[in-house]
Structure 1
Amino acid sequence: MNIAIVGTGYVGLVTGVGLAEIGHNVTCIDVVETKIMKLKLGISPIYEPGIESLILKNMAEGRLDFTTSFAEGAKHADVIYLAVGTPTGSNGEIEMKYFNQAAVEMASVISRPTIIVIKSTVPVGTNEALQHLMDEQAAFEVSVVSNPEFLREGMAIHDLFHGDRIVIGTTDKKAMNIMMDVNQPFRIPIVPTTPKSAELIKYASNAFLATKISFINEIANLCELVGADVQEVSLGMGLDKRIGAKFLQAGIGYGGSCFPKDTLGLLQIAHEYGMTFPLLEEVIQANAEQQRVLVSKLLGRMEIIRGRKIAILGIAFKPNTDDVREAPSLKIIEELVSHGAKVYAYDPVVKAASLDLPSDVVVANSIQEALTGADAALIVTEWSEIRAIQAEDFKKWMKQAYVFDGRNCLDPDAMLSLNVYYEAIGRGGEMKELAVK
């Protein structure tokens, strides 16, 4: 089947490459010319493990192409996916400007009966509004379908081919059958729904996962007060099949392009319909407070950090991505700078050119550079390279071996055996007492 994808960000590019890989002819469209030029060379604009090899493979086999022209992309398309970004606006609202611009542009160039698939995360009712737009402006019959994405950054290729479900929202039986044919080669369970249910499923799913994260982080804070170990608590909880172990890893809160945006988006949708959502409000507030925990621990130990070198290990909001949107690291760096600290930040993928940091923040080229002469180190992202740091490295490179682990990814026994001062999240009791000694 001939398919066009509008947008070559995380969702659009991964979706387009995946559809080509299962045998469809795919043209990806983006208005940024430099991005399309790089993609034609097989260079991905996003860091996503495995994606460049799939781009090159499917281009070589003639199933994948890239263009800046909406007309060219839509010319032979039976199905067109809209995968345009819908970021959070300044007041927390869902910003639909780019999506609407793409929709209007596509309506003007459709040259045959077409299915429009909404892949972007959009407010409830967008399917209905887009159908009305197409009925008014498109020259041919268009059926609009909702098909939310459930891709984790850093694991997007895996999730595309091994996902839990594919949600398809439409009341048009013909369109449903076509979409089932499009997705059948993935061999993933398909969940047919109404458009509004499909639109809400994405928000509800991410909000629930965010709730699990904020809940275990609150439990971690309680563990520190009572002297319990959150890793033991989360293990005991997660073995209950009704709860499950996933998203019960305590840390410094969630970030990225999905959870912050989708929790705020769901809250906005509820408010628009006159509903309060106190549970979700608390989840958002708890996450904001959790992102301050590491700096609070640091100040509790050192009191004054003005003029001291503080190493930040990890900038991306999670491993295996270069995404820094709503990353806890940025808030931590901002707070450290406000206290007058000399911040040296390191990330194996995120580089200085892609960041908007205070001029006096140094983006180091290696872990050793970040740690050498440092008075304290804050573990912010659990990259494998950072997880592999040994206790003796902290002792050898740092001025003072004070380590604050925001991801519970290092071995506390190894740290304590070499008298490295080590604090993690929610690890109370004996570890805390030994760390103080």
Structure 2
Amino acid sequence: MFTRRIVIVGTGYVGLTTGACLASLGHHVVCSDVDAAKVRHLSRGEVDILEPDLAELVRDGLASGRLTFVVGAARAAAEAEMVFLCVPTPMGADGGADLAAVESVTREIRDLLPHGCVLVTKSTVPVGTSARVTELVRREDVPVVSNPEFLREGSAVRDFLHPDRIVVGSASRDAAQQVADLYARLEAPTVLVDAASAEMVKYAANCFLALRLSYVNALAELCEHSGANIADVTAGMGYDRRIGSSCLRPGPGWGGSCLPKDTRALMQVSEAVDFDFSLLRATISANTRQREQMVAKIAEACGEGPESSLKGARIGVLGLTFKAGTDDLRDSPALGVAHLLAERGAELVAYDPGVRADDPRLEGIVTLVDDPYQAAKSAVGMVLLTDWQEFRTLDWPRVAAVLDGPVVVDTRNLLDPEVLHRAGVSWYGVGHPPMRT
């Protein structure tokens, strides 16, 4: 069986998933990180990322001996056939990706890499990064390859092991093929391109998804004004093979660790080459407005109109993470809406099965409780902001009994309006006519 000795630099969301999955494919993987405590925990199979199947995959890799964890990349890199850079590339002050970690690691390991070792950028990086890394490496015998990840939180392991495609880009066709061969067992379509195109693919894909989401949110608002039903409209759209049904569900806006960062990074790339990407700019603006629209909807349903202050109004909140099935609050639209509600004077009591009460990002915004019925107690209304499936099966008559105001604003269109209606609760969705009691 074809196997490689691979070093993963960084054990965050992308790095840990990549390392564990490559080990499951039979490769020998060393995952390195600068956080010694984190390395100790991972070496014991303790995974603190809420991601289905990831902890099991890590423990299987440790048991097989194909997956190990070390502090620092230098020693491991000296024996690697391939090194994957999976370090953070956060949004910088100018909106572009901050490549400080990528550049720092490259400088640290460049003289330690064996002859012929392939250096792979897995982190999301702007167009031109492979060329920059090549300059920093200063070695003709170490090819640089771009191999962007397309992992969705909540299904990252599945996405890795059952990918839509593998994208690999490099000035060296041989090096690109070596990286593509790592995934041979997955039998996925492979796209071999130049490095700049591979880097652009990731941004192009994410920004297109953001555009679709902003479009359907705007369409939902239009449906509310015109009397149409967004669920029926998107169902009719989705059967068109040119469109499909993915990313056609309205909500409180898009967020998370990728789309906000990547849209702004592509805007920065556009500005750097003097290209007016007005369509992308409008997409970002529409997303900001969507959160404000949700607050106006909540204020109208729970207060005295869309512009009411909500000062002192107790509102129960269901969900704070950017996406169900994760514990990720990074740029969460749910948390963004909650923040705007708090600015209006609302007193928010929230429940989310994936969030810890001591998370500092909640301070001054919400009080977190460990029971959805406690969040509903004495509230003038409930707001569903994250589509955890368990919310569909709540005891809604019990919720109605403890609410001061029998109102639920469902920003995800997750709940069954008929169920709430029978419980004596008015339902307000997005892009739908409300169902009032």
Q: TM-score range by the shorter chain?
A: over 0.9
SS of residue in 1 equivalent to 2:184? helix
Note the C-alpha offset of 1:93: 2.0
SS in 1 for 2:271: helix
Task: Say if 2:74 is the partner of 1:71.
Answer: yes
8 Å Cα contact 1:28-1:67 kept in structure 2: yes
1:284-295, aligned counterparts within 5 Å? 284-295=284-295
For 1:385-396, list aligned pairs within 5 A. Answer: 385-396=390-401
Q: Distance between the aligned counterparts of 1:177 and 1:266, measured in 2?
A: 27
| 8 Å contact from structure 1 (residues 6, 29) kept in 2 | yes
Residue 48 of structure 1 corresponds to which residue in structure 2?
A: 51
**1:11 — aligned with what?**
14
On the 8 A contact 1:216/1:250 being kept in 2, the answer is yes
Matches within 5 A, 1:155-174: 155-174=155-174
Equivalent position of 1:239 in the other structure: 239
Between the aligned partners of 1:274 and 1:359, the Cα distance in structure 2 is: 41
Q: What is the identity percentage for the equivalent residue pairs of Structure 1 and Structure 2?
A: 38
Q: Which residue does 1:98 correspond to in 2?
A: 101
Write out aligned runs for 1:295-314 (5 A): 295-301=295-301, 302-303=303-304, 304-314=309-319
Paired residue secondary structure (2:261) = helix
**Aligned counterpart, 1:86:** 89
Per-residue deviation, 1:188: 1.3
Structure 1: how far apart are the matches of 2:381 and 2:37? 41
Shift of 1:261: 0.7
Cα drift, residue 259 of structure 1: 0.7
Contact 1:70 1:109 in 2 (8 A): no
User: Shift of residue 111 of structure 1?
Assistant: 3.6
Shift of 1:292: 2.1
Give the whole-Å Cα distance in 2 for the aligned partners of 1:97 and 1:114: 22
Instruction: State how 1:113-192 maps to structure 2 within 5 Å.
Output: 113-135=116-138, 141-192=141-192
Contact 2:373 2:399 in 1 (8 A): no
Are the aligned partners of 1:207 and 1:263 in contact in 2 as well (CA < 8 Å)?
yes
Contact 1:294 1:404 in 2 (8 A): no
The residue aligned with 1:343 is 348
Per-residue CA shift, 1:187-219, capped at 9, x if unaligned?
211110111100000000000011110001000
Contact 1:116 1:143 in 2 (8 A): yes
Q: Distance in 2 between matches of 1:233 and 1:21?
A: 42
Tell me the TM-score normalised to structure 2 length: 0.95
Counterpart for residue 334 of structure 2: 329
Question: TM-score with structure 1 length normalisation?
Answer: 0.95
For each residue in 1:94-148, what CA deviation from the matched residue of structure 2 results, as whole angstroms up to 9, or x when unmatched?
111122112211214324431001101111111111112112xx5x821000000
Could you report, residue by residue, the CA deviation over 1:295-315 in whole angstroms, capped at 9, with x for unpaired residues? 211212312522221111111
* Alignment-derived partner of residue 409 in structure 1: 414
* Alpha-carbon contact 1:74-1:110 (below 8 Å) kept: yes
Report if aligned partners of 1:168, 1:179 keep a CA contact under 8 Å in 2.
yes
Shift of 1:335: 1.6
Moved more, 343-352 or 297-306: 297-306
Structure 2: gaps spanning 5 or more residues = none
Kindly indicate whether residue 63 of structure 2 is the aligned counterpart of residue 60 of structure 1. Answer: yes
Match of 1:377 in 2: 382
User: Take 1:417 and 1:318, find their aligned partners in 2: how far apart are those partners?
Assistant: 28
**Equivalences, count:** 429
> Quick one: which amino acid aligns to residue 155 of structure 2?
M
List runs of 5+ in structure 1 lacking aligned partners: none
Q: What is the CA distance between 1:360 and its match in structure 2?
A: 6.6
2:215 aligned counterpart, secondary structure: helix
Distance in 1 of aligned mates of 2:151 and 2:358: 26
Letter in 2 for 1:264: R
1:207 has 2:211 as partner: no
Q: What per-residue deviation string (whole Å, max 9, x for no partner) do you get for residues 362-403 of structure 1?
A: 111111221122111110101121232243132122121110
Q: Deviations over 1:36-75 (max 9, x none)?
A: 1111111113211111111011100000001112122213
Partner in structure 2 of residue 424 of structure 1: 429
Tell me how far 1:329 sits from its aligned partner. 2.1
Whole-Å separation in 1 of the counterparts to 2:130 and 2:214: 31
Deviates more, 1:412-421 or 1:158-167: 412-421
- Are 1:317 and 2:331 counterparts? no
Aligned equivalents of 1:230, 1:390: Cα separation in 2: 27
**Segment of structure 1 superposing worse, 241-250 or 112-121:** 112-121
1:203 maps to a residue whose letter is Y
Query: CA offset at residue 173 of structure 1?
Result: 2.6
Rounded Cα–Cα distance in structure 2 between residues aligned with 1:300 and 1:369: 23
Distance in 2 (CA, whole Å) between partners of 1:414 and 1:291 is 26
Query: CA separation in 2, counterparts of 1:85 and 1:55?
Result: 21
Q: What amino acid maps onto 2:254 in structure 1?
A: Y
Asked if structure 2 preserves the Cα contact closer than 8 Å seen for 1:114 and 1:142, the reply is: yes
1:290 alignment partner AA: Q
Which secondary structure state, in structure 2, belongs to the residue aligned with residue 373 of structure 1? Answer: coil
Question: Alignment partner of 1:353: what SS?
Answer: coil
For the residues of structure 2 that align with 1:119 and 1:36, how far apart are their CA atoms? 20
| Matched-pair contact (CA < 8 Å) for 1:210–1:254 | yes
Instruction: Report if aligned partners of 2:252, 2:294 keep a CA contact under 8 Å in 1.
Output: yes
